[in-house]
Each structure stands twice: as C-alpha cells, then as structure tokens.
Amino acid sequence: MDLNYTSVMASSQLLKALDYASTLCVLVYFVGSNIVAQHRHKLDKRKLTSRRRKILSVSLCTFITICYALQAIQYIPHLSSAPDDGLIHSISQFLLWTSLSLILSETASPSAFVWAGASALNSVLEVTIIAFSFSRPGPSNAPQIASFLRPIQVLTIFALFVFTISATVLLHDNPAPVDNEETQSLLSKSSTSTKIGPDANTSYNTLENAGVDYNSSKNLDSNSNSDSDEDEETLQLQQERLESSGGWLEYLKAFKIFIPYVVPTKNPKLQAYLVLMLINILLQRALNILGPRQLGLIIDNLWYHGQIPWKDIFLWVFFAIAASNSCGVGAVNEMLENRLAAWSRQELTYASLDHVMGLSMNFHDSKDSGEVIKAIEQAESLNELLRLLIVQLAPAVLDVAISLWYVMYLFDVYASFIVTSMIIAFVYATYKITLLATVARRTSSRKERDESKLIYESVGNWFTVSCFNQKGNAMSRLSRVLKERADAGLWNDDLYTYIYFFQEGSTYLGQLAVIILAAHRIVTGTSSVGDLVTLNSYWEKITWPLYVLGHNYRRINSALVDAERLLQLFQVSPAVMENPMAQALPNVTSAVELKDVTFAYECREPILHVISLTAEAGQTVAFVGETGSGKSTLFKLLLRFYDVTSGSITIDGQDLRDVTLSSVRDSFGFVPQDPVLFNTSILENVRYGRVNATDREVHEACKAASIHDKILSLPRGYAAEVGERGVKLSGGERQRIAIARAFLKDAPIVLLDEATSAMDSQTEAKIQDALRRLTKGRTTFVIAHRLSTVVEADKIIVVSNGRIVEEGTHKQLLDLKERYFDLWARQAVVGT
Ligand SMILES: Nc1ncnc2c1ncn2[C@@H]1O[C@H](COP(=O)(O)OP(=O)(O)O)[C@@H](O)[C@H]1O
Ligand SMILES: [Mg+2]
C-alpha cells in the first residue's frame, strides 16, 4: 500500500516535470535540428516545396495548434480543481505550435528532418504524459479531469502523428541542381556590372549612394531612391551568398577572420574597456528590473504601512539615474563603445589597405577600383554591424528572456504566456508588413525615377516635342506616371502606418491583458498593488527590445552585406606569392635570362610563346613589333607582376620566384608607356624614385631627363601641382618625369617601355643623350616605337604575336631583309 503510494507520487512528480518540460524539449529540438539542417543544406540544396504541399503541411500544423487551444479551453470550467501543470502544458504547447505554424508558412524549403522530428518527439512526449496521467493521485474528482481531457488529448496525438507522417512524405529533402554562377564572389559580380562604357559611372553612383544611404537607412520610414536600391541589392547579394555558403551558420562562420580586428587581443586597456562594456550591459539588465521593482516597494510601503519609505525612494532615484542613458551606465557604455569602435576601425582599414596593396596585378587589373575602395571603406560597416549585434541585438534578446522570467516571478506563468503571445504577434506582424513594405518601397522609387525621367526628357527635348506637336502626348504620359507614383507612395506610407498600428496594438493589448491578470491577483490577494505598479513601469522594458529588433533588422542586414564585401576582399589571396625561403637578389652583374617563357593571362590564350633570350650584364636589348604582340607583358613578367605560366626568368642565375619581391622591384628602374603621377608637386613626384633623395639630386635627375628648364618655366617651378594622375602635364612631360625618377632610383636594370613615344622627334632626339647616360653600364630593355632610337642596341628582337621572329643587331637585321627591314623601310619613308 505504502509502496504503491510512493510510486504513484513519483509518477505524479514525473508527470508534472513532463508537463512543464515537454514544450521546452520540442523547442530545443526544433532550434538544434534547424542548425544541423543548415549544415546539411550546404551539401544538398533542396528544391522549394510546392505550394500544395506547403498548404497541406501548414493546415495540419494549424490543426495541432487548434487541438492545444481546445485542451486549454477545456480546462476553464475545471480551473479550481484541476492541477495547474496540465493547463500550463496546453497553453505553452499552443503558443509553440502557433509559432511553428507561422514559421512553417514562411519557410521556403522546410526540412522533413526538422519538422517531422519535432512532431514525432512531441507525440512521444504526449503519449508518455497520457500514460502517467492515469496514475495521478488527487482529489476525488481526479478521474473526471482525466476523462474530460482524454478525447482531445487523443485527438492531439493523432494530429501529431499525422503531421509526422505527412512531413516525412511531403517535405523530403530532394536536392536541387547546383548553379555554378552562385559560387562567384560578390566583388567580381558587382564589378562585372560596372564595366567600361556608358555605365562606367555606375560605380561612382553607388559610391555616392552608399554615403547617402548610411544615414537614411537609420530611418525606417525613409523612402529615398538610393535607400530602396540598396535594399534590393542587399537582399539579392545576401541571398546569393547564403545559397553559395549553405545556410546562415556557414555564412557567419566566414566572418571569423575579422576577430583579430574587433577583439583587442594585444591591448590591455582596450580589453579592459571591452570587459567593462560587457559588465555594463549586464548591469543595465539588472537596473532595468531594479528601478521598477523599487517603485513597487515604495507603493507597497505607502499602501500597506502608511509611512514614507525614504530609503526606498532614494534607492529608486539612484537606480533611475544609474539606468539613464545620459548620466548612468548608458553614458559610460557609449564612451567605451566609441573607443572600441575607433580602435577597430583603425585596425580594419589599415589591414584592408595593407591586404589590397599586397594583392597582385591580376586582381587590380580586373577589379573596378571604385568597388575596391568602397569595400575598404566598409570597415565602418563591420563596426556598425558589431555595434548593432553587441549593443542592440544581444541585449534585446536577453531582455526578452529576462522579461519572460520576471513577469512569471512577479505573477505567474500565465503572465509570461501573455507576454509570449504579444511577442509572437509583434514579431510576425512586423516581419510580414516589412516584407510588403520592401516591395512597396522599391515600386515607389521606380515610379519616382520614371517621373523625373519623363520630366527631364520633355524639357530637354522641347524642340523635338514641339516640332512633332507631341506636347499633349507627353502630358498625358506624365499624368499617368504622376498617378502611379502617388499610388505607390501612398501604399508604401500606409504600410508603415500599419506596422506601427500592429506593433502598438499588440503591445497595448498585451499590457491590457497582463494588467487584468494582475488586478485579478490583487483582488484574490495573491499579489500586492506594488506588483502591479512594478509591472506597469517595467512594461516599457519589455516592449523596447521588440522595437529594437524590428527597427534594426534591416540595418543589420545591409551592414552584413557591406561587411561581406570586405570579407570577400580579405579572402582574395595574391596570385604572385613570395617564397617563404626567399632571399634578396644579390645583383652582382644583373645579367638576365629568359628560358622558354610562356605566359597567358588567367584562363586565356597564351600571349607569349616559348620566349628565350639573354641579356648580358650591361647590354641593351630592344624589342620591336606591332602593338598587342606582348612586349609590355614581357616587362610585367620581368617585374614579377605576374608569374610565368611555364619556363623561367633568372637574374644573375637566380629564379625570380626564389627571391624576395621587394628586391626584384628594387632592381629595376622602370619607365612605363603611360606614366601616372601623384597629385602633388613635381618635386615630390620625381622624388618618388628614391624617397630620401635631396632636392639637389632631384634637380640633377630632372636635368638629366631634359625637363629641368621646363619645370623652372612653370609659375611655381618644382612646387607646381601636377593634377590628378598628372593631367596638368603633357604626355611627353610625364614621360620625362618618369625618366627623371628612373635616374634618381639608380637601379641596376632599366626597363623603358616606349619611354619617348609621346614626345616629338626633336625632344626625343634631345633626350636620347639622356637615355644613353641612364642606360650606360646597366642591363637595359627597351621597347621602341621609333626604330631610329634603337639602332645602337646590342640586340634587337622582333616580336610578333608573342613569338620572337628575328633577332640580331640593326645591321644584321637589315641585311636579313625580312620583317625588320620592312619596318625600317616604312618608317624611313614616313620620316622623310
Ligand atoms: N591584364 C590583362 N588581362 C588580359 N589580357 C591582357 C592584359 N593586359 C594585356 N592583355 C593582352 O595581352 C596582349 C599583349 O598586350 P601588351 O603586352 O600590352 O602588348 P604590347 O605592349 O606589345 O602592345 C594584348 O592582346 C592585350 O589585349
Ligand atoms: Mg605596350
């Protein structure tokens, strides 16, 4: 008898635990399996579930929700006699399945593993609960309770069972064909859309838009053009990335390379700031509760004891000040946050420019520099993202959890249920309407553009319009567009009104319900008046995080995409890598040898075919040949801007790939075909050849390059600014400055790529002397346009279509009477 009683008690306790914990178990499974499903997503991308299957699944899911609602309703007449835990179980299950139904209706490709699993787990738990409920001891009416609930419980289990089966059948994971394009990186994608030609200025536009948008996106209501453009881009880019990385988890994992730039691992002061900030965030959570609670204590003291509670009043004021944003913990946190953000911005921007400058020529040649610069400047957005996540999102989520616990602590679990329902309604309404609003904003901004385009066209083409007597036509088009714009704009504005309506509506309804519950508790004597006051003043802290989540959702998304551009940039590794064992070039004699060099730009036809040649120390080797034959490419290989596809290039017997990049670049004085200057003074530009050169040395170099007199004739002489990329100077002048740089650099090997092509023959003749001086005693490679400038070369190489076709001295090649002879004859004719 005794034994029987204990076992009954034990099973009763177990039942209670099951009632309380089963919902949580299913929730935990659901969240966990979702994360796992994200992983699997990477391996097999699932097709979208068809509409019919989706509707069927959601209907079944909703039916389960209704079953739990019926269970809860069935409890109402038995409230006084029935044990609490059954009702709690029904309500929490009802809320869970409401959420699940909503989530299922919003999921494009739900996984059977998640949904059938959750429902199977739930049915097992339900069966266990029913089994245990037979042995529940209790008052004499216990069998009654069991019996009124039993039919609906059985129906629920049946519904769960059907849903499990149907989810397994309907939502099976069928892989979708993989689309290769999706694996492309963002940067290359967006840069292909901003290529040369008429839309070359799009990248400029986006740059500008980014600036505008940063501010406007802070405002949820804003509907400027750029805002919604960016929105569209944001969604699209993110979708692509999500698909290619296989789910959110993988997507976020990639961001871990930024950790060193956002967590101050080396700076103890900043570490202290970070720790302090995290402590402050927790402190704020505590203060959120302490303030309202203190107010409740004051009220209770006044109400029940009739004395002035001085201590409580002072404490209340203290908590209020401590919690305030302008002079409490909030202010301190703002300062800490700013310091951390400033540090992180420095680190990130430094690291990104460092990285980009270390990338190879193939990257820089193929990327739009505007896009790259924009990506570097996204360091800001990564900070914004972190700030949003750490300072807004994480505390908001924490606040939601805390508030659920606190209202339960203040009253009972039913108060938490009310808050939970409010959260579900709030989040779902916000999510749904925001989706609609995104589409509406896009439409409205498209209409705005249509309108201004039409007006612009009409005014701009007034003459044509008048000639063809088309004014009436233009006006009727305009009135149509005006109406469309107004409609689109109004719908957009209305949607925002609806968002606020539903947000405020759900919070006020929630507040109403909780206050009624509290009032009921006060009347029945289970709560004090102070509790109601506490709840009322705490209510704002419950709803605030919901607004934070709603408002920041879009900002987080767009900051994520911006940060992602930076991520993409960080993930590019240089094509030309330095050998870790590399030594500096010894530069003993600077003899250069090319052995069977073949080269192709990425995935293209080879540009150079099996080129072999040697330049003895001090020799001058000239290349001639039609444009596009690969001469400049050869120089890029010598400077190791690219690595040869096959064959080798050696200097003093050292393969270029085995020596340090910087020593290679130091060995060459290079005068490019089209020199580009910095937008500073001429003096600084020439000095770029050797940054520690004195003014005198710069002047000497300029004299040698026959540009000194020209510079002196300028109003500001050497201090004259050259304009962006050197536009204020002529091509010939820029070339001579580049030659002066090469003089100053004084490197053992000289590369002249049509160094005098932009000069008239007179200047060219003048500068020949200078060049002769520059190349004397140095190994020199010359690409020449005018053959007369290479007559004295030790070796002339005729290149055609990436192959060496003739090789010899001027005289030998003339005697050969082939290609060089033809070229020479043609130029001689033109020359006379
Ligand atoms: N970065 C690049 N990517 C792909 N192809 C290139 C690149 N640079 C040059 N080319 C191509 O390589 C060929 C040789 O170019 P180049 O070496 O500049 O010729 P040259 O200096 O003899 O006039 C040309 O057909 C050109 O289109
Ligand atoms: Mg060239």
Determine phi and psi for 183, rounding to 5 degrees. -85, -5
Share of the chain above pLDDT 90, in %: 29
Long-range contacts of 769-774 (CB under 8 A, 24+ apart): 770/704, 770/705, 770/706, 770/739, 770/743, 771/739, 773/704, 774/669, 774/704, 774/739, 774/742, 774/743, 774/750
Q: Starting from the edge strand earliest in sequence, which strands make up the sheet with 654-655, in order?
A: 608-615, 592-599, 646-651, 654-655
Q: Nearest Cα to 600, choosing from 591, 590, 610?
A: 610
Can you give the C-alpha Rg of the chain in angstroms?
Answer: 38
- If you count them, how many residues does the chain have? 832
Q: How far apart are CA 739 and CA 279, in angstroms?
A: 61
So what's the pLDDT on residue 184?
37
For residue 501 the two structure tokens come to: 């309506």
Closest Cα to atom 21 of ligand 1: 632
- Ligand nearest 611 Cα, by number? 1
Paired with 659 in beta bridges are: 583
Q: Place 674 in a pLDDT band, splitting at 50, 70 and 90.
A: confident
Index of the ligand 1 atom closest to the CA of residue 673: 21
Q: For residue 698, what are the β-bridge partners?
A: none
Is the CB of residue 270 below 6 angstroms from any atom belonging to ligand 1?
Answer: no
Assess whether the C-beta atom of 673 lies below 6 angstroms from ligand 1. Answer: no
What tens digit of pLDDT does each residue of 494-508 get? 988 998 899 999 999
Location of structure tokens 């859309």: 193
Domain 592-677+745-831 -> CATH class: alpha beta
Which residue's alpha carbon is at the smallest distance from atom 9 of ligand 1? 633
Q: For atom 26 of ligand 1, which residue has the closest CA?
A: 628
Q: Give the C-alpha separation, 226 to 81, whole Å.
A: 62
Q: Identify the band that residue 193 occupies on the pLDDT scale cut at 50, 70 and 90.
A: very low
Closest CA to 729 of 739, 721, 718: 721
**Distance in angstroms (rounded) separating the CA atoms of residues 812 and 809:** 5
Place of tokens 């008429």: 198
- pLDDT value at 197 more than 50: no
Ligand 2 centroid–CA 509 distance in Å is: 75
**Per-residue pLDDT band at 390 (split at 50, 70, 90):** confident
Stronger pLDDT, 596 or 170, i.e. the higher one: 596
What is the CA(640)–ligand 2 centre distance, in A? 16
Is residue 805 within 8 A of residue 819, CB to CB? The reply is: yes
Share the mean pLDDT of the chain: 82
Domain range summary for the chain, segments of one domain joined by +: 2-170, 223-571, 592-677+745-831
Decide: residue 297, CB within 10 A, 0-12 exposed, 13-18 middle, 19+ buried. buried
Of 190 and 59, which is predicted with more confidence?
Answer: 59
Ligand 1 site, residue 626, Cβ cutoff 6 A: no
Alpha-carbon gap, residue 343 to 424, rounded angstroms: 39
Task: Write the CB contacts of 237 (distance below 8 Å, at least 6 apart in sequence).
Answer: 186, 189, 190, 561, 564
Percent of residues, the chain, with pLDDT higher than 70: 86
Tell me which residue has its CA closest to atom 11 in ligand 1.
628
Q: Give the mean model confidence (pLDDT) for residues 710-716.
A: 90
630 lines ligand 1 (CB under 6 A): yes
pLDDT beyond 90 at 647: yes
* Secondary structure of 704-729 as H, E, C letters: HCCCHHHHHCCCCHHHCECCHHHCCC
Reply yes or no on whether the pLDDT at 564 is more than 90. Answer: no
What is the Å distance from ligand 1's center to 664 Cα?
A: 22
pLDDT score recorded for residue 221 = 36
- Asked if pLDDT for residue 315 goes beyond 70, the answer is yes
Mean pLDDT of 653-666: 91
Q: Is 344 in the pocket of ligand 1 (CB under 6 A)?
A: no
pLDDT digits (tens, 9 = 90+) for 90-138: 888 999 999 999 998 888 778 888 888 999 999 999 888 888 777 665 5
CA of 641 to the centre of ligand 2 (A): 15
* Residues facing 7 on adjacent strands: none
Residue 482 has a pLDDT of 93
Residue 188 Cα, ligand 1 centroid: separation in angstroms? 20
Q: How far is the CA of 354 from the centre of ligand 2 (A)?
A: 29
Distance CA 606, CA 204 (A): 34
pLDDT digits (tens, 9 = 90+) for 615-638: 998 899 999 998 899 999 999 999
Tell me which residue of 199, 131, 119, 200 sits closest to 160, measured CA to CA. Answer: 119
Atom number in ligand 1 closest to CA 783:
21
pLDDT of residue 832: 43
Q: Tell me which residue has tokens 């001086």.
A: 773
Identity of the residue numbered 187:
L
d(CA 606, CA 597) in angstroms, rounded, equals 11
Residue 229's nearest CA partner among 516, 66, 59, 443 is: 443
Q: Given this model, what pLDDT does residue 35 score? A: 79
Q: Tell me how far the alpha carbon of residue 762 is from its chain's centroid.
A: 55
- What is the secondary structure of 716-783 as a DSSP string? TGGG-B--GGGTTS-HHHHHHHHHHHHHHHT-SEEEEESTTTTS-HHHHHHHHHHHHHHHTTSEEEEE
For residue 629 and ligand 1, the question of a CB distance below 6 A is answered with yes
Q: Are strands 803-808 and 795-800 parallel, antiparallel or unpaired?
A: antiparallel
Q: Which pLDDT score is estimated for 42?
A: 52
Containing 797, the helix (H) or strand (E) segment is strand 795-800
Q: Cα(627) to centroid of ligand 1, in Å? A: 9
Which ligand 1 atom is nearest residue 627's CA? 23
pLDDT at 595: 94
Interatomic CA distance for residues 379 and 567, integer angstroms: 10
The yes-or-no verdict on residue 831 having pLDDT over 60 is no
450: its two tokens: 């249509």
How far is residue 748's CA from residue 667's CA, in Å, rounded to a whole number? 6
What is the distance between the alpha carbons of residues 162 and 169, in angstroms, rounded to a whole number?
Answer: 11
Residue 137: what pLDDT? 54
Task: Identify the CA nearest to 562 among candidates 244, 262, 182, 186.
Answer: 186
**Among the listed ranges 20-29, 246-255, 434-443, 773-782, which one has the minimum average pLDDT value?**
246-255
Q: Of all helices (H) and strands (E), which one includes residue 299? A: helix 268-300
Using an 8 Å Cβ cutoff, are 442 and 232 in contact?
Answer: yes
Taking 80 as the threshold, does the pLDDT of residue 251 lie above it?
no
User: How far is CA 251 from its chain centroid?
Assistant: 10
- Residue 206 predicted with pLDDT over 80: no
Phi, psi of 806 (to 5 degrees): -145, 155
Cβ(606) to ligand 1 under 6 A?
Answer: no
Least confident of 59-73, 246-260, 348-362, 587-601: 246-260
Nearest CA to 418 among 270, 520, 266, 533?
A: 520
Q: State the residue for tokens 């849903």.
A: 163
CATH architecture of 223-571: Up-down Bundle (1.20)
What is the rounded CA–CA span in Å between residue 360 and residue 367?
11
Please write the tens of the pLDDT for every residue from 285-309: 899 889 899 999 999 888 888 888 8
> How far, in Å, from the CA of 371 to the mean position of ligand 1?
23
Alpha-carbon span 284 to 328, nearest angstrom: 9
Q: What is the pLDDT of residues 32-80, one digit of tens each?
A: 988 787 766 554 455 566 788 888 889 999 999 999 998 888 877 777 6
Q: Residue 608: is its pLDDT beyond 90?
A: yes
- Residue from 568, 627, 559, 550 nearest 784 by CA: 627
Contact of 363 with 333, CB cutoff 8 Å: no
- Backbone angles phi and psi of 782, in degrees to 5: -120, 135
What phi and psi values does residue 592 have, to the nearest 5 degrees? -115, 140
- More confident: 193 or 225: 225
Confidence of residue 323 (pLDDT cuts 50, 70, 90): confident
Which of 610, 614, 648, 653 minimizes the C-alpha distance to 630? Answer: 610
* Confidence band for 171, pLDDT divided at 50, 70 and 90: confident
Q: Report which of residues 801 and 758 the model is more confident about.
A: 801
Q: pLDDT value at position 683?
A: 93
Tokens of 682: 């001429």
- Highest mean pLDDT, choosing among 244-253, 362-371, 798-807: 798-807
Residue 631: CB within 6 Å of ligand 1? yes
3-state secondary structure of 654: strand
Closest CA to 240 of 297, 185, 306, 311: 185
- Provide the 3-class DSSP secondary structure of residue 788: helix
| 817-827 residue pLDDT tens | 888 898 888 88
**Is pLDDT above 90 for 772?**
no
Q: How far apart are the first and last CA of the chain?
A: 129
| 700 conformational bin, left if phi > 0, alpha if psi -120 to 50, beta if neither | alpha
